[in-house]
Amino acid sequence: MVTESAASRLGLELLAAALENVPEGVAIFDADWTIRFVNPVGAALLERSASELVGRNIWIALPELGGTIFHSFLLHARSVGGRVTWQGYYAPTSRWLRATAVVIDDRLDLYFREAGDQLMKRPADVGIGATDRDETVDRDRLRFLAEVSEAMISTLDTGESAATLAHLVVPRLCDIAVVSVVGEDGQPPEEAFAHQDPHRAAALAAYLSGRVRGTGDGSPLTAALYTGEPVQLTSVPPALIEPSFPDDDVRAAWQQLDVTSLTIVPLRARAETFGALALINCGRRPQHSEMEIAVAVEAVRRASLAMDNARLYGRQLKVAETLQHSLLTPPPQPDALEIAVRYLPAATNMHVGGDWYDSFQQPDGATLLVIGDVVGHNVDAAAAMGQIRSILRGIAYDRPESPARILARVDRVLTGLHLPAMATALIARVEQTQEESASALRTLRWSSAGHLPPLLLRADGSVEVLASRPERLLGAESTKIRTDHLAVLEAGDTVVFYTDGIVEYGRSGIDEGIARLTAALGKLTGLSAAELCDQLLARIVTGRTDDDVAILALRCVPESGPAG
């Protein structure tokens, strides 16, 4: 390699001419992997012309490079920052190569050539020997990396992703693997681990759960997280690990592991380091070779993107669920009434949707019950649901009007403000006069905006479908007057309001689903409102749901008190 001072004396043109004519391939990359120089020999080895390569990013100019061991070698060389050598089979050009990479500041210089006449032959052309073994090893590495890619996309749960990665690399790359993912919002890191010896897994768990965090054993991890580069310890000094022992039990657990060396590879994606994989060797297993580290770097690169996707999904899911729960508030519990609610989000819509329920007492003491379903699904439907629910709640509390008049006023707001959302909704108002109170009776006054009919479970086990003439959805412009309907409730009666997710579960038709729900309800006499909701879900929704499910149950408590 020519030094900077020698290069100055020779001149850049003379130096470039010399590199053009050296008998091995030479390529120079900048910090962004843009190819700044490649000589004719190097371009020929890659089966490209120099003009196709110079000035282009290597991953774009050579897309076939991705996923090869040569790819892993280059990434490893950049992370190590010194001189790294490699010899192996480069499948895209059917060549065996011997390469040396040197990092100088932000530049990576690559020197490579074919690895000899014998190694140039395809495996089918040579007898069983070192060449066959070398290619078998290379193919095994590629199969392993492909397995990592496939396995890591199987889940969007961060904990499961971490556990999957730990089990993938044990015992392929180490005896023990510990995956640590930085916690969100100051929470403790999430860890997963695997041990190749099942009999020592308990000792590993005892050490990891019992150790004192933030002591000496965390310094290599901190270095990997801070630099974004692998950290290798060829031995584990007692002074490094001793501060992590709070007692003799944890010390004994560590000693059982017989750790001799380790390598920590940071988990990094989208320019962020969010965790690390610790590859730990025990007993007589030697320290990691450069090639093992290169394979680990590539495996972690593939796993990191999948794990980061899981982290991002988890963040979005948490935000969505928090917003949804903030809108679906707990119901009140008026005297002699039980109100219970249940909500199951569709399995495919980030745990949020357009179904909602609401219940509150109006200023005159009446209890108002609301259930609805915005047309559409997912986050957009949830956003529209939040708007409609807030508008309806404000209007309903403003004055003690009938359900039909409340729905009419909501219609005017939605159309007047040009809100594009449409929804089914049902409002029910539970009223009680002094005369009704003396007889333990109540009046249920309701109005439906295209919603499914309530079901009334009588104390004797009979079920009535409180059907009414179909009326338009909320938000649909019309001059037709909305109507109220009445039913008398007795002590022990339960009214159930619901959305179409439970009716159409299992791809049932509306009529079939209501009949199924009615039959199930008739077997639940005497249960509290909460128990009744749980039983309905357990009997009907037996698996993943394609649509949101909301249930609101109102029970008139018998004079003897609440059930259960």
Q: Which of 36, 70, 396, 81 is nearest to 228 (CA)?
A: 81
The whole-number pLDDT of residue 128 equals 37
Q: Which of 361, 337, 284 is nearest to 489 (CA)?
A: 337
Distances (CA, A) of 226 to 229, 231, 266, 274: 8, 11, 9, 10
Terminal C-alpha separation, the chain: 85
Q: Looking at this protein, which amino acid is placed at residue 560?
A: S
Give mean pLDDT in consecutive 10-residue pieces for the chain, a chain of 564 residues: 51 73 91 92 93 90 80 81 80 85 91 66 40 62 84 83 92 94 78 92 93 71 76 87 91 94 90 90 92 88 87 71 66 90 73 81 92 79 84 90 94 87 92 91 95 96 91 84 95 96 90 95 94 95 84 88 49
Domains of the chain are 4-126 (3.30.450.20), 153-320 (3.30.450.40), 329-556 (3.60.40.10)
The whole-number pLDDT of residue 560 equals 62
Strand 494-498's sheet: what is its strand order?
337-344, 549-556, 494-498, 455-457, 463-465
Pairwise CA distance, residues 454 & 514, whole Å: 10
Pairwise CA distance, residues 61 & 66, whole Å: 11
The whole-number pLDDT of residue 489 equals 96
The whole-number pLDDT of residue 125 equals 39
The whole-number pLDDT of residue 37 equals 93
DSSP 521-553: HTT-TT--HHHHHHHHHHHH--S--SS-EEEEE
Q: Which residue has the tokens 């020929």?
A: 44
The whole-number pLDDT of residue 119 equals 38
Number of H helices, E strands in the chain: 20, 20
Return the structure tokens found at 516: 């199924």
Computed from CA positions of residues 290, 292, 293, 299, in that sequence, does the dihedral angle turn out positive or negative? positive
The whole-number pLDDT of residue 290 equals 82
